Each structure stands twice: as C-alpha cells, then as structure tokens.
Structure 1
Amino acid sequence: MRFFSVLALLFAFAFGSGGEAHAQQDLTMTWIGILCLIVFVVGYFFIAAEEVFHINKAKPAMFIGTAMFFLIGTYMVLNGLDLHPLQGKIDHLTIEVAQIVFFLMVAMTYIEALIDRDVFNTLKYNLVSKGFTYKKLFWLTGLIAFFLSPVADNLTTALILSTVLLTIDKDNKPFLVAGAINIVVAANAGGAWSPFGDITTLMVWAAGKAPFIDFLALFPASIIGWAVTAFLLSRYVPEGSPHFDAKSEKRVTIKPGGKAIIALGVLTITSAVLGHNFFHLPAMYGMMFGFSLLSLYVYYFKKAYKNEEPMHVFHFMSKIEHDTLLFFFGILSAVGALHFLGFLEYLIALYDKLGQSPVNIAVGFVSAIIDNVPVMSAVLNANPKMGLDQWLLVTLTAGIGGSLISFGSAAGVGVMGKLRGIYTFGAHMKLAWTVLAGYIVSLVVWYVQFEILGLF
C-alpha cells in the first residue's frame, strides 16, 4: 500500500503521455523532466515511508520542492531558454504558498490560544461528564466536523476536533485513529458542498462554473458517503467510556478571555470568507486581520486583567507545528515544478480519451496522491466544456478524494500534525478501504441524483 500512491502517479503520467501538452513548453520527455520526476517520486516515497525511516515528512518535501526548481533553472540556463516563464511560475507559486502558510499559521495560533484558555478541556469535560461512550463520542465529533466545515473550512475544523479527541483520551489509540479518520473524512465531505468549505470549491465558485446555491446539491452525496465510512469505522471504535470520576475530576471551565477569543476566531473566519467573496481578497488577508485582532486583544487583556495570568500571542505561535507549514511549502513547490514541466497538463488530455465522468472521478484519486489545489487549477485552466453536473462532480471528487490518503488533504496533514505518532500514513492506510467505500457511495448518489433523476 505504501507504493500504491507512487505507482498510481506514474500510471497517470504514462497514460496521458500520448496527448497534447497544454503547457507553454513541454519538458516532460527531456532529461530534466525525467530527472525531476525521479526526484519527486523518490522524495514522495520518503514522505510516505516516514514511519519506516523516522524522518519528518517536511524534510524530504522541502528538498524536492527546492531542488527541482534549481534543476529546472540550470537546464534553462544551459540551453539558453528564456527565464521569464520560470520567474512567472515562481511568483505565482510564492503567492499560492504564502496564502496557505499564513492561513494555516493563524488557524493554528488560534487553536493554541483556545487550548491555553481551557476551551477544549471544558468541551471535553462537558462531553465526558455526560457519560457518553467512545462510540457516541465518535459519531458526535464526526457530525460536528461535517456541519462545521462548510461554515469555517475543513482544515480549521479538523484541527479543532482532533484537539478535542486528544483531550478526551490521549492514550486510547484505536479510538484516536478511527476518530481522526472520521474527522478528516467528515471535514472534507462537509467542505465539498459549500463554496467556503475548501479551497477547491472556492476556485470553482470564483471561476463562475457553478452558482452559490447549486453547491448545496452536493449535500446528499457528501453526507451519505461520509455516513457509510463512519459506520464502517465505528466497528473499530472500542467499547466503553472514557474514565470519569465525578468526585475526583475537578470541574473545568473556560479561563478569562477564552470566550472573547472564540468570538474573535469566528470573526476571523467571517472576515476571510467575506473578504474573499466581496472584495476578492485572498483568504489569508482575512485571517491575518483576525490575527491582528487577537494580538490587540492580548495586549488589552494584560492591561485590563492585571490579576490574571497574562497571555502572550507569540508564545501561542511558538507552539504551532512549524513542520506542517514547511511540508506545505515543499509539497506545493514540488507539484508546481511538475506543473511547470508539463506533467500535470497531461491529465487534461484524458478528457478526450476517457470522457468527462471517468476523468472527473479519477481527479479524486489524483488529488489524494498529489494535491487537490493544483489539480483543480489545471482543470480550470484547461476549461473543458462541461455542464453544471460535471463541474459539481469534479468539485465533489476533488473535495472528498483527499481523504483517501492521510496527507491527501490539508485536513489530513493538519490532523497528522496534531496526533503525531498516532494518526500516521500507515495507520490511515490500514482503514483506507472504509474511505474508499464511502467515496464510491458518494459517486453512486451523485449519479442517481444528477444523471438519472436530474435533481440539481
């Protein structure tokens, strides 16, 4: 299973190699294209085999993300090629990476602030003190993830609820692994039927491929597919309940300032959504605006609550998983290099070979192997002639397909960072068949609803 993702990637490239490349220059069959592909596959292998070699996934990701561009630059200089296309690609990629990294940084900082204020400990206390079993907690966290991600986003939702899992029982690995997969699947499925739930849905909506209200038509496929996966995963959730002794367990409440930070967090997400919707600002600007509000509030808190322990916003920042941010930088840069060389453009040629539905379904698998953002970007740039039903299909598959592999989505990578050593690539792949079953069911629901009944 560890080799499956690499083999699938090579198959996708090889199958499409006979088509016409849509890139400005096709370097795929040159020595630099082949060398960069080898560098990517080898680096990706070490990312996937993190548990075997005990190497943090950010290290090989950063290496391939930077080395490939140095190799490309060397090739272009040796052959006297114009460097402006490469510079343009780097400029575009820098903006893309910065948006994601800054977005993640603010989201993670808010989570650390909420942890400091005992928000999640209070939520844990309220859940566990009610006597809920592990199975009930499994379903409850999944439902919250599914309905929270359309309002916020799948990454923030997954980060919050994976933290809740740890506060419930940090030692029960079967519960944590099943719960983590459930949260990732639910967050990605919930984000697929809302323009604000995932970056890819925002891209499709902003490109005018589907009106806002029509995204809601994906709700049945999203929730039924998640429910199937959750039902299968629930069989691996242990019986019993988290330990709770009402006499010995001290009641936990939110510390002063905690509720204000919750309100600021909601305002931050709202600013990101509204800023993107009405002003066409990158989501990171809304997030950074929210970060500035948090910084100012921490300053106000020190002055107004002199008898309370002060908060320090940069202390919150120091506790976030920086390796997760570096991983995103590396993997997005590496995929950007492949796109520049022309490899991702070959995927578009498959529309002519296989038809719209098969390729759009395959996009889900490709997005799990690579990343749904550049894959969706390639589809939008190629702009194949598709109806609303097919644009919503590719939106659905790109959104939920990332759940097939642990680091196939931002939500999965975020949860891997939170549950380091527990929710890993290997742990996910052992139960990946449950995610695949839900993926197939979602496709069946889409086909019945859109192609047979015409309900959209």
Structure 2
Amino acid sequence: HMGVFEKLKYNLISKGYTYRQLFWITGFLAFFISPIADNLTTALILSTVLITIEQKKKAFLVPGAINIVVAANAGGAWSPFGDITTLMAWTAGKGTFVDFLFLFPASIIGYLVTAFLLAKVVPNTVPETDLSKEKKPEVATGANIVIGLGIFTIFSAVMSHQVLHLPAMWGMMFGLSLLKLFDYSLKRKHGKGFGVFDSMAKIENNTLMFFFGILAAVGALYFIGWLSLAVIVYDPSVLGPTWSNIGVGFLSAIVDNVPVMSAVLKASPTMGLDQWMLVTLTAGVGGSMISFGSAAGVGVMGKLPGIYTFGAHMKYSWMIVIGYAVSCAVWYLQYQVMGIGA
C-alpha cells in the first residue's frame, strides 16, 4: 500500500538484468525477506514481480517460481517469524529465538544447492520489457517509518516472549497499536493515512479457516490418542528421532507442513534441542518438495495459474530433494559432529 514493493518491482524491471540474474536476485530477496515478512507474503510479492517481467516464457517462470518457493521456505525455517511451523515451535517453548538462528547455515546451503541446479535451466538472455508501459512508482510518505515499525514489532514480540515471558502476541499487538497511532498522525498532518483496518480487512479468511480446520483436526487426533501411537516411530528401536524427523519433511510435502508440525508438537516426543531444531528445519524446508506442500507453494500456484502447476513443479522436484538432503547433512555436521547450536 505504501508503494515499497511496487518500487522494488520497477527497479528490477528497469535495470536490464538477464533472466538468470533476475532468478538469483528474486531468490535471495525471498530468502532474506521471508524471515521478517513470512514465507507466504514474500512468495506472493516476488511471484507478482516474475509475472510482471515475463508472462509467457515458462523456461524462466517455472524455475523462477520454484526458486522463490524454495527460498521463502528455507528463509522462513531459521526465523520464528518466517514460517508458521517455526513460529509454532518457538511459542511452544522448543527453543529460544537465538536457537532458531543456528539453522541459518543448513537453510541457506540447502537453498543454494537447489538454486544452483535450477539456474542451469534458466535462459541467460535479457527479457523484452516495454518500460514505456511501466509507470515509475513513488514511495508514499512515511513508508520508511512503517518499515522501521515492522522491524520494531518483531523485536517487541521477541522481547515480550523471551524476556518478559509473555505471549509473543502481546508484543505484536503493541507494534500494531504504534502503527495505528502513526496512521492517525499521518491523517492529522497530511490528510491521508494508509488505513490499518482497511489492510486488515483484506486478510483472506479462506486461508485462516483452512488453518483453523486443519489444526482442529490435529487436536481431535490428539484427543482420541492416535498421535500418541504415532510417537512410537521416535523410539530408537524403530526409527529413532533423527530419521523420524527427516521423514517429517517428506510427510509435510504431502500433507502440508503446518498440520504435520502441529501433530509433532501435540505428540511431543522426548527429544533434545538439536532434534527439535531438525524437525523445525525439515518441516519448513520439506514443504517445498511438492507444490502444495507449503502455503508459499499454494500461493504461487494461484499467482501463476497454468504455468506453475503440480506437474511443472514435479519435473524439478529432484533438485529440491538434493537440497533437502544437503540441509539435513549440514544439520548433522553442525549439531551432531561439531556441537554448534546444540
């Protein structure tokens, strides 16, 4: 609404980058915006950039869309604010805010492996864009302050949870109240604000109802005792925690990572910090293996209908599986061998 992302989109289009350069730029933007803005929002914004740059060339759009989904999910895995699964693990007390940051090496290395493989199939030519049709956007008054308030809100949520031992929601609501006060001051000074409540009204209820329904279903399974039976796979005599948590990634790709993570948290198998970090990593990153395995993937399919499809995604899924395996290997080296973050 403030024109920040429109400005970003225009800058990417007007610089004359090749398809391959745009592939890497949008991927890195997704990876580093996702920890702050969340993976779904990031994927939706950057997939809009893709379709603005090119409407027909599937050789760029499909790998580019997959790259954004993988980057957004990988970026969200190491931040409690980047993915619902990580947020759930953090609010459940499975690790401190800093503990999740130690997943950064596994997240970025796994993403880079997948991106390197995907980049091989992206054309290295310059897109034919008619800049005369693109109007240069202007950033609205107060946009920088809104960005600063967003960062402060995240800091406030972390402090309320880690230091004051209050629900993180309180910190988020405090930040939202400051945003509303700033909106009020803009209306007083300039006669026009950005409408906090108008923006909130645009939240998709279908998405919220999906999460409410799926979490209620998981709660029902826990209530009747089925999740307690599933915990048996974590027993060392069966699969053990490491292989079970790696399997969670594949399951999250099929079922969606949110209900899978919810089920693991409800079942609450006895695990150390290192294993809780592994299941957070695998649930977040594993959702990328199938197009509908994460909210980011589903969102991008809606943005690029007929282009980014289940079939198009599966054509390159082996590249994502390799990146997933590398992420797990980096976790093993970091936590089990070197003892960093455990």
Residue 6 (structure 2) pairs with residue 124 (structure 1):
no
Deviates most, 359-368 or 406-415: 406-415
1:203 Cα offset (Å): 4.4
Residue type of the alignment partner of 1:186: A
Residue 251 (structure 2) pairs with residue 338 (structure 1):
no
Deviates most, 177-186 or 405-414: 405-414
Q: Distance in 2 between matches of 1:318 and 1:226?
A: 34
Q: Distance in 2 between matches of 1:124 and 1:139?
A: 15
1:359 Cα offset (Å): 0.8
**Number of equivalent positions:** 339
Q: Distance in 1 between matches of 2:148 and 2:301?
A: 27
1:334 Cα offset (Å): 3.3
CA contact (8 A) 2:90 2:96 kept: yes
1:303 Cα offset (Å): 3.8
Q: Distance in 2 between matches of 1:279 and 1:173?
A: 50
In the other structure, the counterpart of 2:26 is 141
Residue 111 (structure 2) pairs with residue 221 (structure 1):
no
1:366 Cα offset (Å): 2.0
1:358 Cα offset (Å): 1.4
Aligned residue runs from structure 1 range 8-407, under 5 A: 113=1, 117-205=2-90, 209-210=94-95, 212-244=97-129, 250-306=135-191, 311-317=194-200, 319-352=202-235, 353-407=238-292
RMSD, aligned CA:
3.3
Structure 2 CA distance for partners of 1:452 and 1:295, relative to 1, 3 Å? closer
1:130 Cα offset (Å): 1.8
Structure 2 CA distance for partners of 1:136 and 1:383, relative to 1, 3 Å? same
Structure 2 CA distance for partners of 1:292 and 1:404, relative to 1, 3 Å? same
Q: Distance in 2 between matches of 1:285 and 1:254?
A: 30
Structure 2 CA distance for partners of 1:411 and 1:245, relative to 1, 3 Å? closer
Task: Extract unaligned runs of 5+ from structure 1.
Answer: 1-112
Deviates most, 227-236 or 313-322: 313-322
Structure 2 CA distance for partners of 1:254 and 1:243, relative to 1, 3 Å? farther
1:439 Cα offset (Å): 0.8
CA contact (8 A) 2:215 2:262 kept: no
Q: Deviations over 1:224-276 (max 9, x none)?
A: 21111112222343442333456775433323343343334334444444333
Structure 2 CA distance for partners of 1:422 and 1:246, relative to 1, 3 Å? closer
1:365 Cα offset (Å): 1.6
Q: Distance in 2 between matches of 1:419 and 1:289?
A: 36
CA contact (8 A) 1:196 1:202 kept: yes
Q: Distance in 2 between matches of 1:316 and 1:428?
A: 32
CA contact (8 A) 2:50 2:64 kept: yes
CA contact (8 A) 2:252 2:260 kept: yes
Q: Distance in 1 between matches of 2:75 and 2:170?
A: 24
Q: Distance in 2 between matches of 1:151 and 1:430?
A: 30
Deviates most, 239-248 or 173-182: 239-248
CA contact (8 A) 2:248 2:260 kept: yes
CA contact (8 A) 2:97 2:162 kept: no
Residue 332 (structure 2) pairs with residue 447 (structure 1):
yes
Residue type of the alignment partner of 2:213: G
Structure 2 CA distance for partners of 1:252 and 1:454, relative to 1, 3 Å? same
Structure 2 CA distance for partners of 1:419 and 1:449, relative to 1, 3 Å? same
Structure 2 CA distance for partners of 1:167 and 1:280, relative to 1, 3 Å? farther
Structure 2 CA distance for partners of 1:424 and 1:220, relative to 1, 3 Å? same
1:136 Cα offset (Å): 0.9
Task: Extract unaligned runs of 5+ from structure 2.
Answer: none
Residue type of the alignment partner of 1:347: A
CA contact (8 A) 2:152 2:175 kept: yes
1:350 Cα offset (Å): 0.9
1:201 Cα offset (Å): 3.3
Q: Distance in 2 between matches of 1:340 and 1:141?
A: 43
Specify the structure having the higher radius of gyration (Cα).
1
Structure 2 CA distance for partners of 1:345 and 1:282, relative to 1, 3 Å? same
CA contact (8 A) 1:149 1:157 kept: yes
Residue type of the alignment partner of 1:330: G
Q: Distance in 2 between matches of 1:243 and 1:121?
A: 19
Q: Distance in 2 between matches of 1:208 and 1:311?
A: 36
Q: Distance in 1 between matches of 2:80 and 2:70?
A: 17
Structure 2 CA distance for partners of 1:303 and 1:151, relative to 1, 3 Å? closer
Q: TM-score, normalised by structure 2?
A: 0.81
Q: Distance in 1 between matches of 2:172 and 2:292?
A: 23
Q: Distance in 1 between matches of 2:251 and 2:116?
A: 25
Residue type of the alignment partner of 2:210: F
Q: Distance in 2 between matches of 1:452 and 1:311?
A: 51
Specify the SS of the correspondent of 1:164: helix
Structure 2 CA distance for partners of 1:128 and 1:369, relative to 1, 3 Å? same
Q: Distance in 2 between matches of 1:264 and 1:166?
A: 30
